[in-house]
Each structure stands twice: as structure tokens, then as C-alpha cells.
Structure 1
């Protein structure tokens, strides 16, 4: 190769990349950030679940968004925190006489949960500002990302709203507020997944049927409802009892536990009924995922969308199995956290599958992002 050839090659390599390549590179960078955010969100939800399961959520009785980053650093500060905890009903009625070491165990769970919540705010907000200012964001995802940031701030307030429900009259937090807290976290997780997949390469396969995208959206909604019902179970400790499957004390649904005075509130306040509803709705989600996978494979066998539908059904089945194991083993911490984490993974995959059926945002030049 001659010197002139090398010179030509160098000149060619020095040419700026086509605009489309820069856009693809920026999309890849933004996706990397969003996928990392999803991992932190998953960790936050798992630690939140551990905080609930270890009855640690009321150990910090004040909301200090800034100062609360620093834990007690001396014996005197630890005694001060314990003294505050001794003023609430949970200590007086359940944990009276708790030692400082026992208090520190529950304190660290709640502190870690709050620290992770603050951390995910920074993980999301700072890169968002960078990508926005440097022009790396597609204009069509700016508003969704800004809305997700706002929801994240609202989630911090709802977390304290939830904790405050257990500081004066109750010995635990309201299951209603707990369900709102977890459902909003799940919506944020779903939203981040949706945006990330909207700027990701998609397979060129056509959707199996004209209504496959609607079916994908319905599955996402069903999973969200099931997560909400699971939060009610956790809030009422409704999994502690009737630890057999598939029956509950010899029946599929314990109708004899229905409290006529509660009326429709049985579905939210009556632990055996709440557990039965969570079980029953799980069967509905499983059947819906099975039907979607079967129809997708029937009309587009071997396609990317059909394979993903089958994988989604497999994940739903695995999650159901984890739920059964958690129940029959009397809700040990490890299995309960696996069950909760897998619920979020199922939700994320369902959202990604739905977005795949809808299709990606086209590039600025109008071409599809394949």
C-alpha cells in the first residue's frame, strides 16, 4: 500500500460520522444509563421488601431528606434514636424492652432503604441533566423522562406518608399506603423500561396479530394489579396463615371468612380474603400469559415476538412457583424477596415485550431503528 493510499485512508477516517450514527451512539448511551437505573430501582424495591418483612419500616420516626443521610455516629446519638422509637405504638405494644442492638438491626434496614432512594434520585437526575444539556436526548423522550423524575420525587413523599401512618395509632403502616408506594415504584420501573426500549433496536418481525400490541398492554396492566394485590398481602401479613396450596383450609376460596360488616372492604382489610384474591388473580395472569403465548405462536411461530411471548409465560410461571414456595414455607425472608424481585422482572419484561409489539421510535431521518 502506498503512502498516498495511507493518506487517503486517513482522510477518510477523519470524516465525521453520518448524523444517523451519532444518533445511534447517543441512544446507546442513554439506554445504558436507563438500564443501570433499572438495576438500582430493583435493588431499592428488594431492600424495601426486606424492610417490610423485618418490621423495620418504623425504626426511623422522622423524615430528614438531607440530614437523614448521616446515621447515628455515637452512643448518645443511637440512644436518642432509640428514645424516639420508644414513643410510637410499635415499640410500646410489640417491641417493648428492645435492646439497642436489636434496634440497630431494624434501623439499618430502613436507613439503607432511604439511602438507596436518595441514590436512585441522583443516578437518574444527574445523567438526565447531562444528556439533556449536551443534546443527546431524543426530543420525544424528554417529557416522559421529566415526568419520571417528578414521579420519583413524589415517591419520596409517599414513602413518608406511608411511614407516618404507623407512628401514632397503628403498630404498622397502612396496607393501603404500602400498596400505593409499591405500585408507584412499579410504575416508575415500567416507565423507565418503556423509554429505554423505545430507543432500542427492534426486530423487523411483524406482530403476530393486529391486536397483539393491545394484548401486550393488557398483560402489563394485569401484572401491575397483581403487584398491588401482593402489596396488600404484605401490608396485612396475610401470607402468615393458610400456608398450603392449592387449597385454603380445604377450599379454593375461604368464603366462610367473609366479614359481612366489612362488605367490600374484605378485599382490602380481611387477611384471608386478601390472600385468596391474590392467589386467584395469579391464576388469571397465568392464563392470560398462556393465551397470549399460544396465539402469538399460532400466528407467527418462531418469530421474535412469539418467542418473547413464550418467555414471558415462562417467567410468569416461574413467579407463580416462587409464590407457592414462599407460601408453603411460611414466608421466609429469602424466598419472599425472590418472589418480590421476580415480580418486578416479570413487569419489566412484559413492558419490554409490549414496546416491541408497538415498535421503536424512528430515527430522526425517518428510518426504523432495527
Structure 2
């Protein structure tokens, strides 16, 4: 994906950064749908007609009756009134429609740029990959929802949720990298192989941490231990190996997942502090290094607040702020790695 940075790319760069912002919003909407239990409220996938919500009370009642056929409604939300259903329906509808809007925002300007000959040959293949990634993300989302539309599964699997989440972050990573290639002059790039290697380790661990963040949200694992700095009075809590196997514990045991999530947060903070100190001699990294340290500390702080304020349910505001800073940290470290690319 090699291409030249020039002033003619300005409109394309704005377009791509708009896409980055919209993907961030979409991921946050996904977090809301999960934490409010809204993801299974729409039981059909209609790519075109589904853009409109039920238009009258008869249509609303029909949609509600379809929802009442699945296990989540029968065993968890059996007390729901039509008004309650409309609330969760709204969040899933907004999540899906925002995805449709992202598709329009990417596709229409793309066609316009081709007509105006603003896109050169070097950009075509990356653009095609971008659309494929976007389409796959939508497909993954529907497969995830469809898996919960039965009487057995009360929620969508947290494993499928993590795949959906990481696929969205992969798309975010790709679009951001593409935008940086078109916007950042070569004079801002520095040769720092050691620092680049360290940022690669940080990004790798951060992806694992984000997977465990999805596990935390999917299993509501914050409710398993609402204390800090200890975990229910211990730094290595009991019950971590009670699921019958190592793999089962690290992927399904709430207390184990929370322990891993916390531990990775401390390790990442330490590694980013080392990266911050080692990058001090490079003026090109002044802004990104300051942001990296600030965001990781804020991320840990918000994680602590989320845990401490989790009682009967996880506080939506703190959880979303924690999720947003996780994405922000990912983008900052992508920026840092981009600046030190060969």
C-alpha cells in the first residue's frame, strides 16, 4: 500500500478520518447494545427495508412477538412491556443503521473520487480491501446475532462478541493506517527499530487485552469482583481454576478473566512507560508519547472506576468511557508505530 503524500489527497484524508470517527462511534454503540441487552431485539436481517423501524403499533407488536419467541425474552425479559422492548430495539436499530451509514459514507465518496480521478492506481487495491473488511464485519455481526435467536442461548456468546469487536478494531486500524500514509510527510518518519519492535509488542498485548475487554463485557465479569486493588480481598483470587480445564478457565471463568484483564493492564502500563522513556530523544514522537502515557493512565483509572461502581449492574457511562480510551490507546500506539516504520 505505497502511495505518495500530496495536497491533492486532502479530501481523501478527510474522508478516511471521518470513517475512523464513525467506526469509533459504531464500536461504542456496540458496547451500549451489549450492556443494555439490546443485541437480540431485532430478530430479522433486512439490509434495505430494515433501515426503517416499525411504523405503527401493529408493526411494533409484531416485532415484539417475534422477540418473545427467543430464550432471552422468555427467561430474562419476560416482564418486558412494549415500551421496554422499544427501548432495547432503538439501540440495536441505531447500531445497524449507523453501520449502513458508514457503508454509504465510504461508498459514495469513493465513486465520486473515481469519477473526478482523485484516486490513483496505488489506492485502488487498498480501497477494495477496505470494502471487503467492512462487508465481512457486517456479516460477522449478523452471524453473531443469529446465533442467539433461539431458546437455548440467553445472550450472544462472548467469544463471538470478541470476534465481532476485534474485527471492527481491525477495520479501524486499517483505515487509520491508510489515512496516515496519505497525510503524514516522510520528514516525520524516524528510524528507530528498537522502539518499533517495542511498540509491536505493546500492540500485540493490547489486542489480547481488548479481547479480554470484550470477554469482560460479554460475561459481565466486572460483577465477579468489585474491589480494587485486591480482587475480592486477594491479589490472586480463589476460584480461578474451577471450570474444569485451563482453556475453559481463561475463556469462560469470570474471575479468571478479570484477573487476566487487570494483570495485562498493569503490564501494558509498564511497557508504555518504558516506551515513553525510550522515545524521549525523538522530537517527532513528542506528541504521541505524551498521549500514550496519558491515555493508558486514564484507561486504568476508568477501569478501576468501572469495577468499583459495579453493583447489581455495570455502570454504562464508566464502561463506555473505558472502552473509548481503549480504542484511543490502540490508535495512539498505531500512530507511534507508523512514525517509526522503515
Q: Deviations over 1:185-207 (max 9, x none)?
A: 00101111100001113473663
Q: Paired residue for 1:273?
A: 256
SS at match of 2:50: helix
> C-alpha separation between the residues in 1 aligned to 2:175 and 2:18?
10
Structure 1: 5+ residue runs without aligned partners? 1-21, 360-370
- Verify: 1:144 aligned to 2:145, yes or no: no
- Verify: 1:81 aligned to 2:63, yes or no: yes
Match among 177, 188, 204 for residue 194 of structure 1: 177
State the 1:140 CA deviation: 3.1
Indicate if the aligned counterparts of 1:26 and 1:137 stay in contact, CA closer than 8 A: no
State the 1:210 CA deviation: 3.0
> C-alpha separation between the residues in 2 aligned to 1:273 and 1:247?
14
The TM-score, its normalising length taken from structure 2, stands at 0.93
- Verify: 1:180 aligned to 2:148, yes or no: no
> C-alpha separation between the residues in 1 aligned to 2:120 and 2:293?
33
Q: How many residues are treated as equivalent by the alignment?
A: 335
- Verify: 1:316 aligned to 2:296, yes or no: yes
> C-alpha separation between the residues in 2 aligned to 1:126 and 1:220?
32
> C-alpha separation between the residues in 2 aligned to 1:215 and 1:347?
14
- Verify: 1:96 aligned to 2:78, yes or no: yes
> C-alpha separation between the residues in 2 aligned to 1:55 and 1:175?
13
Taking only aligned residues, the RMSD between alpha carbons, in angstroms, comes to 1.8
> C-alpha separation between the residues in 2 aligned to 1:189 and 1:205?
22
State the 1:23 CA deviation: 6.7
Match among 229, 235, 238 for residue 252 of structure 1: 235
Q: Deviations over 1:231-277 (max 9, x none)?
A: 01111111113111111012223243311513311111111111111
Q: Paired residue for 1:8?
A: none
Indicate if the aligned counterparts of 1:27 and 1:136 stay in contact, CA closer than 8 A: yes
Q: Paired residue for 2:192?
A: 209
> C-alpha separation between the residues in 1 aligned to 2:288 and 2:331?
12
- Verify: 1:47 aligned to 2:29, yes or no: yes
> C-alpha separation between the residues in 1 aligned to 2:217 and 2:334?
24
Indicate if the aligned counterparts of 1:254 and 1:272 stay in contact, CA closer than 8 A: yes
Q: Deviations over 1:47-102 (max 9, x none)?
A: 11111111111101111111110100101000000000000000110111310000
Structure 2: 5+ residue runs without aligned partners? none
The TM-score, its normalising length taken from structure 1, stands at 0.86
Q: Paired residue for 1:26?
A: 8
Indicate if the aligned counterparts of 2:5 and 2:182 stay in contact, CA closer than 8 A: no
Alignment of 1:1-370 (within 5 A): 24-168=6-150, 169-202=152-185, 204=187, 207=190, 209-259=192-242, 261-297=244-280, 300=281, 303-330=283-310, 331-358=314-341
Larger radius of gyration: 1
* 212 and 98 in structure 1: CA distance in 2 versus 1, 3 angstrom threshold: same
* 256 and 99 in structure 1: CA distance in 2 versus 1, 3 angstrom threshold: closer
Indicate if the aligned counterparts of 1:219 and 1:288 stay in contact, CA closer than 8 A: yes
